[in-house]
């Protein structure tokens, strides 16, 4: 258990003024406890592995559409990795500005999480289209004879499921 007491300068002024929480980046300066007051994470002022000395240190992990970026951010957070999406406000400019890599939303993680986050992002990028139903040909509901567009697997009118052998419209 980390020691209690005045933690203002246990490692010297230069180190104490550069301590930040690993989870929320709260400055761990002038504290009398070994718990971050913002998020509650424990730290040991004598163990540099338990806090960060760099408030920045964000690394771009993934660039894509806003919905993809936010989905990956949520997946990373479910895995215990802090992530943030930056640049999604620029989505409204698509079509007006050149579609350059830097104008797309990006998922950023702390440099200390990069090793754990990279395989998750690679798997996400490789499989993000899996599980989506292929768009089929338009079809007619056999129950109510309502014409359906190919992406629908259930009739919007009567709720009947699209049979495997349904006639195309």
Average pLDDT of the chain is: 75
In tens, the pLDDT along 126-142 reads 886 555 445 677 888 98
18 and 51: one domain?
yes
Contact 57, 109 (CB under 8 A): no
Number of CB atoms found within 10 A of residue 25's CB: 19
Domain termination site, one of 56, 74, 97: 56
Interacting residues of 132 by C-beta distance below 8 A, sequence separation 6+: none
43 and 79: one domain?
no
71 and 23: one domain?
no
Domain that holds residue 122: 58-127
Length of the chain: 169
User: Does 3 have pLDDT greater than 50?
Assistant: no
User: Does 2 have pLDDT greater than 70?
Assistant: no
Average pLDDT score over residue span 23-35: 78
The CA distance from 74 to 164, in Å, is: 35
3-state secondary structure of 122: helix
The CA distance from 40 to 33, in Å, is: 10
50 and 62: one domain?
no
Total domains in the fold of the chain: 3
Task: Name the token pair of 63.
Answer: 């660039």
- pTM flag (> 0.75): no
Of 151 and 114, more confident: 114
Which of 3-7, 35-39, 105-109 is least confident?
3-7
The CA distance from 161 to 114, in Å, is: 44
* CATH number reported for the structural domain that contains residue 83 in this entry: 3.30.70
| pLDDT band, residue 86 (cuts 50/70/90) | confident
User: Does 75 have pLDDT greater than 90?
Assistant: yes
The CA distance from 155 to 139, in Å, is: 10
**Ramachandran quadrant class, 134 (left: phi over 0; alpha: psi -120 to 50; beta: rest):** beta
91 and 48: one domain?
no
Interacting residues of 31 by C-beta distance below 8 A, sequence separation 6+: 7, 8, 37
């Amino acid at each position: 258990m980390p020691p209690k007491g005045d933690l203002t300068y246990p490692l010297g002024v230069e180190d104490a003024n550069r301590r930040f929480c690993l989870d929320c980046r709260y400055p761990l300066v002038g504290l009398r406890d070994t718990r971050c007051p913002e998020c509650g994470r424990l730290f040991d002022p004598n163990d540099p592995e338990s806090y960060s000395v760099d408030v920045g240190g964000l690394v771009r992990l993934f660039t894509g559409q806003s919905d993809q970026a936010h989905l990956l951010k949520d997946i990373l957070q479910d895995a215990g990795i802090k992530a943030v999406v930056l640049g999604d406000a620029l989505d409204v400019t698509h079509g007006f500005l050149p579609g350059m890599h830097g104008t797309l939303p990006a998922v950023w993680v702390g440099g200390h999480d990069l090793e754990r986050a990279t395989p998750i992002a690679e798997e996400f990028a490789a499989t993000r289209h899996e599980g989506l139903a292929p768009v089929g040909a338009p079809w007619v509901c056999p129950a109510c004879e309502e014409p359906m567009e190919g992406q629908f697997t259930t009739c919007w009118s009567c709720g009947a499921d699209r049979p495997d052998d349904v006639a195309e419209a």
